[in-house]
Structure 1
Amino acid sequence: MTQPDQALLARINADVAAMSSYLGRVHADLYELNRVVALRHAETSYAPPATAWAPPAAQPPATQPTAAPQPFSPPPGQPVVVPPAPPAPAIAAPVKPRSDNWIGKVLAVAGVAVTLVGVVLLLVLAAQAGILRPEIRVGMGALLAAGLVGVAFRLNSRPGGRVGAIALAATGIAAAYIDIIAVTTIYEWVSGAVGLVLAAVVAGGGLVLARRWNSEHLALLVLVPLLGLGPIVVGGITLLLVGFMIALSAATLPVQVGKDWLAMHGARMAVSTLPVLIALVAVDPASNRIGWLAAACGIAALLALLSALVLLPYSGQPVAVALLSAAGTLPVLAASVAVGRITSAVMAATMAAVLLAMALIGNRLTKDSTAVAAVWSATAAVALLIAITVAFDGDVAGPLLLAVSAVVAVAGRRSAVARWAAVGFGVVGGLHYLVSASPDHLVSATEVPVSSAVSTLIASLLAVASAAAVTWSWVGRKGSDRDVAGVMWACAAIVGMYAITMFTVTAGVLIGGEEAGFFSGHMAATICWIALAALVFRYAVTVPRAKRSLPIAAGLTVVVAAMAKLFLFDLGTLGGIFRVVVFIVVGLALLGMGAGYARMLSQQDEREQLEDHQQTV
């Protein structure tokens, strides 16, 4: 046997010996595990009484003695193979026991209610019954409030004491509020202004404590009671209360910086908005405080927008913050209830400009910039609409709103909010237009003042522009339905035909008088309708055959409407030369349209076939 064969045989023997050693070790471990399990079972099994007979225990079968495993040393140059460790058994996740923390919260709320009832009994009913002196009652209320807050501090530092600490602190602050009410209104020891200052000190301390404990609930319990406390302290909704509430809302803004406290933001908006709105309704328009109230409206709206700019970067719900801030601008939107037209209109227009600027830079403020910008844009549109309708009468407001509708439709055609805003401006402007240009003016000759006639002429042209621009902005977007587009173009055509007729009749009456001008205006309107149909057919020739059905249908509809007006109205209303001219002009126009459309359609079809043939070749 050669030397390489001997080396190979030695390695095989070594491998066999190693496997035998491992098998022996496993056998010994299994035997030891079997013995331990048997002993454990014997210890935990039921042992009968000593006097009872027990059969002899069965002996386990004899096993062959196993030689103790010998340590294995691999041959030189061979690596030591270590068997992989078995995977660790999966540990089941512990089941979280049901929390009974709600019991503590319910008991804490009940304790707050009972304690506050006791404070009221101490300060009010005791005063009616003559129990104790007023100084003692007020002092006991103040000591109770301070003691509750002190115990809340002590309880908050202990494990599980947060719920009770918040409840005690809220109870103490509420007790301090009730004490302030008693000092100001029941005993009249201090004036309303001093009472508001004391309430502000209590509220400021409570809000600082809420931020320190990171508790939005405590902040709400501190701030919300002031909505009911303030009017009681000063005896109603006064300018002093309005100023105090706005100042309090501004002073509490730093407490919320860096915190995603949506409810707190809503409470702040309510504190600064609700008293102003009530004051706008309750104030006497002849009062000399209207200027101060207008300033309060502007400051409240400015505070709402500033709060949004400060809080949006930290908010996880930016749309909700934007909506609450938009609600905070209601005092400016409703200022015209008590404030003068010019002042309220300027305020609304200024706010519209600010909101539009915020919408344009919305992507720098928050992650959900599109939705937030939509909120600002919609609020800006409402503010601009209010500004125009408040500042101007119908003769000016109507044309201006129609012009804004056309501009917004063209400039914001890619934005759904802008398109809807254009529709809103167009509808409101159209209503103003119908008031000054009612259908009665088309049935009978009506002479109107020159200013109203000029307004009607301008509004008629702007109505056509608005209807066309709004329809184009909706129809031109991607994914628009052709059937819906047809309906919208039909509505735009109806608006255009009415506005054209109103324009020609108003211009005729303004220039030629009630009789001749009225007839000439209707004659011109019928001819304009036919000209409009000709333009639609001219457009139909330029589009491909697959898209030609919609403009053809629109052109035929306009022709049918023109023929109906010609035979149902013009034939019986117009007289003399006007009737003759309108029939001749319309007839010649229809002949020209028929011949020209057929020729142009044939040329267009031949051109398309030639282009298709060239592309095929």
Structure 2
Amino acid sequence: MTESDQVVIGRLSSDFAVMASYLARASADLNELSRIVAERRADTAGSYAPPVAVPVAPYWAAGSPVPQQPLPRPVAPPPERHSAAKRSEGWIGKALAVAGVAVTLIGIALLLVLAAQAGILAPGVRVGAGAVLAAGLVATSCRLNRRPGGRVGAIALAATGIAAAYIDVVAVTTIYAWVPPPAGLVIAALVAGGGLTLARRWNSEHLGLLVLVPLLALAPAVAGDLTLLVVAFLLSLSAAALPVQLGRDWTAMHAARIAVATLPLLVALIAAAPSSAGWLSGACAIAAVLAVVGALLLLPHGNRPVGTAVLGAVGSLPVLALPLVADRVTSAVLDASLAAVVLGIVLLGRELPGVTRSVRRVWTALATVAGLVAVIAAFDGPVAAPVLVAMACVLAVAGRHSGLADGAAVAFASVGGLFYLESASVDALVAPTEVTGAIAVSTLITSVLVIACASAIVWSLAHRPDPGTDVTRIVWGGCGVAALYASTVLFVTSGVLVGGEGAGFYAGHVAATIVWIGVAAGLLWIAARMPRTERSAALVGGLALVAAAMAKLFVFDLGTLDGIFRVVVFIVVGLVLLGMGAGYARMLTHQDQRV
């Protein structure tokens, strides 16, 4: 080894020695820092956390390898003792704030109403005091919101000030008539919009609720009655609250907005005079538009789509209740429009954001109810029955691949069947009953439509992916009973119209029994030509119809029919049964052999 090599090795050894000393010093500093931090946390939490020991690096000899030193393990912060207590006591401040809002607003209402009745202060002083108080509360809330821990108080003060300003506007418009109603509506909308904008800026749903909910009771109280102007105020408030909710998942705010527009209208509809039907109809239409449009705008941003859709449907209740006060034409037009709009949303639901399958179910129910109300409001029973059953038939055929359409078809058919039973009661089938021309025509048309509708519903359910459910079997059974009843009514009513209450009545029952057994034979013939695994529905239906025909034959026809009619029905039914017994087994054997 040369002298130059030894010099290089000596310099490297010296460098490693210096590095080892620096590492030892850094390790000691880390150990001391860990001890200081642990002592500070122990003082804060009331308990001492021992410092983590960090081994001190020795001073290694020159040229020896430097082992790696483990880094100090961080000390986990101790749990805060008072966090649970803070959470458990946080509701106290909120409850006190809400109570303060309510009491202050009641005081403002008393200032405007009772002071006016007693003549204590001049009108300008009352209104001015309310305005000054409202502005002061809002200004104080803005300052308080910038301070630590002042959010709850700021929200309460802001809500009180905004609601006070809104009540002031109501007073100057309705009590003192200083401002014309259109201008009052604009000012009220600006005040409410400003307050709700503040709620959005602070991202506080509670502030929005404290602005909306108190006014629901205080606005009618200040005005003295639930007048058109008060309803218009509340509708403008509901409209102003809608933009504030965009992009926010504020379901409670949505519910409050719907309540502000809906509850006063429902109360007004119940207690309204006939002279107020015109403006109530317009207000109900506006409320429905706000509810449906609002739900469509909020669905993409919410985590509760079904709740939002249900609230949108609840907002349409005033339109559904319009027949209580409005005339037939107005009620029918508005309810039919609501049904058409909601049905269009359901049909376009796959292309609309947020309109899920559950939402479409809710609004299909709404469209169904609105359509039913429209038909019932527009027509009397003899006309409503065929219209409803025809609509059910169209729904069953057009929506044969949709369970929602099938449900709506069953609903329309059920309500139409109730109207149908008014003119085609069981008594008219048991004993000869005279029928007028208009009622007879309605009964005959509805009977044909009931048979067609029952067949369409059965056919639609048979083409669904799961036709074997219990609900489907129940619907099939109901459709079969309805078709048998309608066919009997059809033949008996036709017989009475043609042959009178004697021979025509008997001939109608003979024809009905023969048709029953003929349809049963047709079902069994179809079952015999189907594969063994697919024939159960047709076979069960055919046998059930045979049993029903036999029961009618011996329970009713035998004791009611007279003379030749009894002979004819027994001979014809007997021959058909013989043919069915002889031919079904042979057809079934040939079909199974081919399979």
* C-alpha distance in 2 between matches for 1:217 and 1:353: 36
1:579 equivalent to 2:566? Answer yes
Structure 1 residues 136 and 604: alpha-carbon distance in aligned structure 2, compared to 1, 3 A threshold? closer
Change (3 A) 1:154 1:445: same
Q: CA shift at 1:483, angstroms?
A: 6.4
Deviation readout 1:171-195 (Å, 9 max, x if unpaired):
3234445656776788x47478476
Stretch of structure 1 that moved more, 359-368 or 298-307: 359-368
- 1:281 paired with 2:273, answer no
Q: 1:134-533 alignment to 2 at 5 Å?
A: 136=125, 138-177=127-166, 188=176, 190=178, 193=181, 199-285=188-274, 287=275, 289-367=276-354, 369-474=356-461, 476-481=463-468, 487-533=474-520
How far the C-alpha of 1:549 sits from its partner, in A, is: 4.7
Partner Cα separation in structure 2 for residue 482 and residue 196 of structure 1: 56
Contact 1:184 1:233 in 2 (8 A): no
Aligned-pair CA distance for 1:200: 4.1
The CA deviation string for residues 524-577 of structure 1, in whole angstroms up to 9 with x for no partner, is 111101101101111220223344455334323322322232233323332333
Q: 1:540 aligns with which of 505, 509, 527?
A: 527
1:371 is displaced (CA, Å) by 1.6
- Residue 513 of structure 1 aligns to a residue whose secondary structure is helix
Deviation at 1:206, TM superposition (A): 1.6
Q: Distance in 1 between matches of 2:191 and 2:337?
A: 36
> Contact (CA 8 Å) 1:453, 1:506: kept in 2 or not?
yes
Matches of 2:319 and 2:60, distance apart in 1? 96
SS of the residue corresponding to residue 71 of structure 1 reads: coil
Partner of 2:97: 108
Asked if structure 2 preserves the Cα contact closer than 8 Å seen for 1:413 and 1:473, the reply is yes
Distance 1:89 1:112 in 2: 52
Contact 1:104-1:163 within 8 A present in 2 as well:
yes
Q: Is the partner of 1:160 in helix, strand or coil? A: coil
Percent identity for Structure 1 against Structure 2: 58
Give the Cα separation in 1 of the matches to 2:116 and 2:470. Answer: 77
Structure 1 distance, partners of 2:425, 2:240, is: 54
Distance apart, 1:579 and its partner CA: 2.4
Shift, 1:133, TM fit: 6.3
Contact 1:177–1:229 under 8 Å retained in 2: no
Aligned to 1:596: 583
* Number of residue-to-residue matches in the alignment: 546
How many Å apart are 1:196 and its aligned residue?
A: 5.8
- TM-score, normalising length: structure 2: 0.81
The TM-score with structure 1 as length reference comes to 0.79
Partner of 1:48: none
Rate the CA distance shift 1:429–1:182 in 2: closer, same or farther, 3 A: closer
- The amino acid that maps onto 2:223 is V
Q: 1:548 to 1:521 in 2, by over 3 A?
A: same
DSSP 3-state at the match of 2:501: coil
Q: Give the whole-Å Cα distance in 2 for the aligned partners of 1:263 and 1:176.
A: 23
Find the aligned partners of 1:484 and 1:104 in 2 and give their Cα distance: 53
Residues 192 and 234 in structure 1, CA contact (< 8 A), matched pair in contact too? no
86 and 544 in structure 1: CA distance in 2 versus 1, 3 angstrom threshold: farther
Seen in structure 2, the aligned counterparts of structure 1 residues 599 and 107 have a Cα distance that, compared at 3 Å, is closer
Unaligned residue ranges in structure 2 (runs of 5+): 1-8, 40-57
Letter of the aligned partner of 2:449 in structure 1? L
- Is the Cα–Cα contact under 8 Å of residues 134 and 160 in structure 2 kept in the other structure? yes
Distance 1:439 1:67 in 2: 111
Q: Which one-letter code corresponds to 1:577 in the other structure?
A: I
Match of 1:70 among 45, 62, 72: 62
Q: Residues 185 and 236 of structure 2 are in contact (CA less than 8 Å); yes or no, is this contact kept in structure 1?
A: no
CA contact (8 A) 1:195 1:233 kept: no
Structural RMSD (CA): 3.5
Which sits farther off after the overlay, 547-556 or 300-309? 547-556
Shift of 1:509: 1.1
The answer to whether residue 552 in structure 2 is matched with residue 560 in structure 1 is no
Shift of 1:241: 2.2
Greater mean deviation of Cα atoms: 386-395 or 271-280: 271-280
Deviation at 1:120, TM superposition (A): 6.3
When residues 123 and 350 of structure 1 are mapped into structure 2, their CA distance, relative to the original with a 3 A threshold, is: closer
* Separation (CA, whole Å) in 2 of partners of 1:125 and 1:279: 25
Return the letter of the residue paired with 1:580: V
Structure 2: distance between partners of 1:433 and 1:125: 58
Cα distance in structure 2, aligned partners of 1:296 and 1:161: 40
2:354, 2:435 → 1: CA distance? 55
CA contact (8 A) 2:196 2:208 kept: yes
Deviation at 1:387, TM superposition (A): 1.0
Contact 2:234–2:261 (Cα < 8 Å) also in 1: yes
8 A contact 1:523–1:582 mirrored in 2: yes
SS at match of 1:515: helix
Q: SS in structure 1 opposite 2:148?
A: coil
Given that 2:163 and 2:215 are in contact with CA atoms closer than 8 Å, whether structure 1 keeps it comes out as no
User: Deviations 1:295-331 (Å, cap 9, x if unpaired)?
Assistant: 2222221222222232223323222222111111122
Q: Against the structure 1 CA distance between its residues 201 and 460, is the aligned structure 2 distance closer, same or farther, given a 3 Å change threshold?
A: same
Contact kept, 8 Å, 1:257 with 1:310, in 2: the verdict is yes
Amino acid corresponding to residue 69 of structure 1 in structure 2: A
Change (3 A) 1:596 1:191: same
Decide whether aligned partners of structure 1 residues 367 and 133 sit closer, same or farther in structure 2, where only a CA change above 3 A counts: closer
Q: Which amino acid aligns with 1:246?
A: L
Q: Distance in 2 between matches of 1:205 and 1:397?
A: 49
Shift of 1:484: 6.1
Distance in 2 (CA, whole Å) between partners of 1:450 and 1:349 is 30
Q: How far apart, in 2, do the equivalents of 1:483 and 1:306 lie?
A: 38
Given that 2:451 and 2:486 are in contact with CA atoms closer than 8 Å, whether structure 1 keeps it comes out as yes
How many Å separate the matches in 2 of 1:294 and 1:305?
Answer: 17
Query: How far did residue 607 of structure 1 move?
Result: 0.9
**Which structure has the larger Rg over C-alpha atoms?**
1
After superposition, give the CA deviation of every residue in 1:205-245 in whole Å (9 maximum; x if it has no partner). 32232222222211221222222232233321222222332
What's the CA shift for 1:458?
Answer: 1.7
Label 1:362 to 1:576 Cα distance change in 2 as closer, same or farther (>3 A): same
